[in-house]
Chains A and B, each alone.
Chain A
């Protein structure tokens, strides 16, 4: 059975995956411009392909440790956003297994390492998991993430 391919990566120590067609490009050491008065997980603005790209630390947003690696630039059709992740492993195979929580049995997520509520991750992640090379990558719900009011509210003091 053939599945859409996903970009496999890690953020905050958590193995995640996003659809490959939702990723415009992967940047390495993208220069950032910090913005005052924003949330800690909002890293700032960067310029990619001639356009401003707001970059968010996905690990911090998920309530995990801060990520410090590459930046996934999402496709403009999905939303203008950049996600800072740790390590990008590559793309999943087309015939990789996609399992549900029931298939896996149990919560694979690590314990909370920050004060962010766990519900935030529940809104950003799907219940599907790609099993590749023995690792389980939880698929990120980009639509839900980009429409999450908390994700969009980057101004400090309201959260």
Chain B
């Protein structure tokens, strides 16, 4: 609608004579270009079709290409109308019925060329007339423009000294657009300077804070590196300790294995001792039974000895009584011989007394021998009794000793069995201990490897921490440089003078810049932006 309005306004304002030859020239050029384009396209299509047509026509003609066609085209001259009609027919056949004819295109191109030439002639004539009019109007306009330029120069002169508070007056004069663009550029510059100053300030503050953090980080990295180094040393010591522990555990496992072997040997020895003690106990029990039988036999002997002793006593008693009788008889004979009437008796009585005395003597001797036999028998009985008593006593002592031996053997056997059980327990415990210690050794070894790896990792971490510390130190130095750069940047924009903050709506150069940019944005017909866009400048 705006374009239509502009054209209508231009025609109504008498400017159609200046625009008409240009419009006509444009239409002619458009037609010429279109015709040439279509013609070129048709020629390309035709060439392509001809490329594909030759083989088919050759096939239609047969193998002999030298033979003339049956119905040659009417007229070989392409410039004749008859030949053109034949070509159009062929083109129509090749290009299709809907395509424009090549002749009409050529005619359209020629017409467009002629129209272009006419338009150029018209433009040349119109340009001459217009130059005459311009020459007449240049004097007044030059004066007005010089005045506007001088005014604009006066308004923007403070900018050379960095005063960004300047503002050019926007008018209908030729410098109005320049003033508007200048104002926009100054606003942009204000925004840029304010932004640079604020950013430099914030960058300085942030750099200062970051530098402090970096310094603290450097210190922390140093502490961390020291602690990591110390931890690495601890881990190295722990690794060595774990290795020693593993070695000790392996040695303990070997000792436990030896203990198991010794316990097994001890168990076998004790088992053999127990069997030997069992055999000794059996033999001792047999000896005890034999001794008891010996004691019983001694008792039987005592009984027999008692019988012998009784016989001896009876024999002794018999001998005593016999001796007493013999003594009494001898005493009676002696008494009879001593009497006075003994010689007066019959001669047979004397002989009888003599024989009686002789018998008494024999009886006395017999009694003495019996007495001696009784004494011998009694002595033998006493000796046998003494021996039997000794044997019985010895047997009883032996039995008691054997009983004591049996008890000791039973006790020893029980202790041996207990020792065997204890050795079995020791063997079992030693075996479990060996397994545990072996497992402990393996774990300690693995743990030593883990600790060693951990120590290596700690060394890597320590190295990384050192690198980080150096990097952070470098970062701190870079931050120092950045801080210096921010200061230099602030110093660089310090020569620019900005409107006071009170002049801005909400304070700060950003707000003023935003307000200026908002105006520019409204002028550009766009939504509000934080800063002016290039489109708004182009529009001015």
Mark A residues whose CB is within 8 Å of B: 4-5, 7, 20-21, 23, 25-28, 70, 75, 88, 90-91
Contacts and interface: CB of A to CB of B under 8 A. Distances in A.
Contact of B320 (A4, A75, A91): A91
Given A28-B313, A28-B314, A90-B371, A20 B321 contact: no
Contacts of A91: 320, 323-324, 327
A79 to B, nearest CB: 16
A75 B323 CA distance: 15
B320 A88 contact: yes
Contacts of A90: 320, 323, 371
Contacts of B317: 26-28, 70
Given A5-B330, A7-B324, A75-B328, 6 more contacts: A4-B331, A20-B324, A20-B331, A21-B327, A25-B324, A26-B320
Nearest to B323: A91
A26 B313 contact: no
B332 interface: yes
Contacts, number: 37
A20 B328 contact: yes
A115 to B, nearest CB: 33
Interface in B307-332: 313-314, 317, 320-321, 323-324, 327-328, 330-332
Interface in B284-341: 313-314, 317, 320-321, 323-324, 327-328, 330-332
Nearest to A7: B324
Nearest to B332: A21
Nearest to A4: B331
Contact of A5 (B314, B327, B371): B327
24 contacts: A4-B331, A5-B327, A5-B330, A5-B331, A7-B320, A7-B324, A20-B323, A20-B324, A20-B327, A20-B331, A21-B332, A23-B328, A25-B324, A26-B317, A26-B320, A27-B317, A28-B313, A28-B317, A88-B320, A90-B323, A90-B371, A91-B320, A91-B323, A91-B327
Contacts of A88: 320
Given A28-B313, A28-B314, A90-B371, A21 B320 contact: no
Contacts of A70: 317
Question: Which 7 pairs across A and B sit closest by C-beta, in order of nearness?
Answer: A20-B327, A21-B328, A5-B327, A21-B331, A26-B320, A28-B317, A91-B323
Contacts of A25: 321, 324
Contacts of A23: 324, 328
A27 B314 CA distance: 9
Contacts of A28: 313-314, 317
B370 to A, nearest CB: 11
Contacts of A27: 317
A5 B364 CA distance: 12
Contacts of B321: 25-26
Contacts of A21: 327-328, 331-332
Interface residues of B, number: 13
A5 B313 CA distance: 22
Contacts of B320: 7, 26, 88, 90-91
A26 B371 CA distance: 14
B376 to A, nearest CB: 14
A91 B363 CA distance: 14
Nearest to B335: A21
A131 B529 CA distance: 174
B307 to A, nearest CB: 15
Interface string B126-165: 0000000000000000000000000000000000000000
A26 B314 contact: no
Nearest to A88: B320
Contacts of B323: 20, 90-91
A19 to B, nearest CB: 8
A26 B324 contact: yes
A70 B314 CA distance: 11
Interface string B161-186: 00000000000000000000000000
A22 B241 CA distance: 117
A157 to B, nearest CB: 36
B139 to A, nearest CB: 200
Most A Cβ at <10 Å: residue of B314, B323, B327: B327
A75 B327 CA distance: 13
Contacts of B332: 21
Contacts of A7: 320, 324
Contacts of B313: 28
Most A Cβ at <10 Å: residue of B313, B328, B332: B328
A21 B314 CA distance: 21
A91 B328 CA distance: 11
A46 B528 CA distance: 171
Contacts of A75: 328
A20 B324 CA distance: 6
A70 B316 CA distance: 12
Interface string B332-357: 10000000000000000000000000
A70 B324 CA distance: 15
A91 B326 CA distance: 11
Nearest to B310: A28
B154 to A, nearest CB: 181
